[in-house]
Structure 1
Amino acid sequence: MKSLIFAGLLAFSASVFASPAPLVSTANQAAYWQNLSALCGKAFEGEIVKETEDDGFGVGQKLVMHVRYCSDTEIQIPFHIGEDASRTWIITNTGAGLMLKHDHRNKDGSYHVSTMYGGHTVDSGWPQLQSFPADAYSKELFVKQGIPASVDNTWQMMIYPQTFSYRLIRPAREFQVDFDLTKPVEPPEAPWGYGEQ
């Protein structure tokens, strides 16, 4: 009898561990991931539609996002600012939600001192919008760099039929770039160090 019970437990355990874990924790995040993946291989031009700090970032520059690499667990989106291809948004399917990281490089391809900041979702969001509050690594990085106001950063990415939006918000700061999804453009030359399609 004991051997039968033991055999049953072994069979049950094998079936449990053989089953793949879900890639995302909610239906909204799964739908969002599908919406973002549908853009893979395409590039779109954008414009700054909100900027509450007059720091000149991106002003007068051609802004292009290129959904360059997609897998079941990672989507890489280089964000070109004129000739500057140093920034890439990396969205990862963690199994407990979605994570956004900002991969920032120097001209030689080495990591910039300010890189891999971002955050992880803390709620289910919507199929069209996910929010990424700054994580512990990012907060520590911002304090070390003397920009403590950034510890309150939340990044948002929105996908609607005609527009993809990248938004940064925190108290007294908002920045948003809208990209026109109705007019794909020629993808820019791929930056270094990223996945291949």
Structure 2
Amino acid sequence: MNYLTVLTALGFAVAIPGVAKTPALTSSSAAFEQFFQQLSLQCGKAYPGKLTLEPEGDDMLTGTELLIVHFRECTDSQLKVPFHIELEATADWNRSRTWIFTKHADKLELRHDHRTKEGDDDKVTMYGGFSYGEGTVIRHEFQSVERTAESGYFRGWRIEIEPGVRYTYGTVRGSEWSWRIDFDLSQPLAELPPAPWGHSE
């Protein structure tokens, strides 16, 4: 199944039971709270995406795979967002990755939950960092303290969200994207993906 084929069969997904009701955005909310609320608006939905930027020599993705983001588990303080990758060569799926956003009293935290197909923790998992700078209602950056210290310039992740338009995840070096994937928020999938590896249905 390729990206264009899926797009022709898309419809609106129904929010799953138990998803936390998202409070309305208010001008008095801090930027990180408004950003978290924008992410929360997607709860219970999944969207197709594709690779849009990859550094030379990086072969994690070819740019032809169907990618799916699923805003799957939502509470007032935490969002668990699986990232599914279609493996074209085998028609199978890599369901090892889940992005976890946690809202603290004064900032956000991003962690990467990586699991094996058996559901165990991967060798590298739960890495990430806290939001850096004030951010905006549509963009936040999360610093990797270790990678920043090693390189001497900012290293981390950038997340952008425009409800109804796009959700973007990527890595940042300095002020520039180094790796980026974009999801089409105007095209919610009619059929939600199964649970990521290591998570219950």
TM-score band by shorter chain is 0.7 to 0.9
Q: Distance in 2 between matches of 1:102 and 1:180?
A: 21
Measured at CA, do residues 195 and 109 of structure 1 come closer, stay the same or move farther in structure 2, by a change above 3 Å?
A: closer
Equivalent position to 1:169, from 152, 168, 172: 172
Conserved 8 A contact 2:170-2:180: yes
In 2, the alpha carbon distance for the partners of 1:126 and 1:173 equals 17
Count of residues in Structure 1 that have an aligned counterpart in Structure 2: 164
**Matches of 2:177 and 2:39, distance apart in 1:** 26
Offset of residue 56 of structure 1: 2.1
**Which residue of the partner structure matches residue 157 of structure 1?**
159
**For residues 117 and 192 of structure 1, what CA distance do their matches in structure 2 show?**
17
Structure 1: 5+ residue stretches without partners: 1-25
Could you tell me how far 1:96 is from its partner in structure 2? 2.3
Q: Distance in 2 between matches of 1:176 and 1:113?
A: 23
Q: Find the counterpart in structure 2 of residue 79 from structure 1.
A: 83
Deviation at 1:35, TM superposition (A): 0.6
Distance 1:158 1:91 in 2: 13
Contact 1:52–1:173 (8 Å) recurs in 2: no
The structural deviation recorded for 1:73 is 1.1
Whether 1:184 and 2:188 are equivalent positions in the alignment is yes
Structure 1 residue aligned with 2:130: 120
One-letter amino acid matched to 2:158: Q
CA RMSD between the two structures:
2.6
Structure showing greater Rg: 1
Amino acid across the alignment from 2:192:
P
Does the 8 Å contact 1:76/1:88 carry over to 2? yes
3-state SS of paired residue (2:186) = strand
More helix by share: 1
Q: Which amino acid aligns with 2:83?
A: F
Give the superposition deviation at 1:167.
Answer: 1.4
- Tell me the distance in 2 between the aligned counterparts of 1:160 and 1:195: 29
Where does residue 46 of structure 1 map in the other structure?
A: 49
Secondary structure of 1:75's partner?
A: strand
Q: CA deviation at 1:55?
A: 2.3
- Which TM-score applies when normalising by structure 2? 0.73
* Change beyond 3 A, Cα 1:103–1:195: same
Runs of 4+ off more than 4 Å: none
Q: Distance in 1 between matches of 2:142 and 2:112?
A: 12
What is the alpha-carbon distance in structure 2 between the residues aligned to residue 97 and residue 36 of structure 1? Answer: 15
The separation in 1 between residues aligned to 2:34 and 2:94, in whole angstroms, is: 32
Structure 1 distance, partners of 2:172, 2:40, is 25
In the alignment, is residue 111 of structure 1 matched against residue 121 of structure 2? Answer: yes
Tell me how far apart the structure 1 counterparts of residues 198 and 115 of structure 2 sit (CA, whole Å): 9
SS in structure 1 at match of 2:38 = helix
TM-score, normalised to structure 1, is 0.75
Instruction: Deviation per CA, 1:135-162: give whole Å up to 9, x if none.
Output: 3xxx28x99xxxx66x953101100130
Which residue number in structure 1 is paired with residue 61 of structure 2?
A: 58
Q: 1:96–1:104: structure 2 CA closer, same or farther, 3 Å change rule?
A: same
2:107 alignment partner in structure 1: 97
> What amino acid is aligned across from residue 43 of structure 2 in structure 1?
C
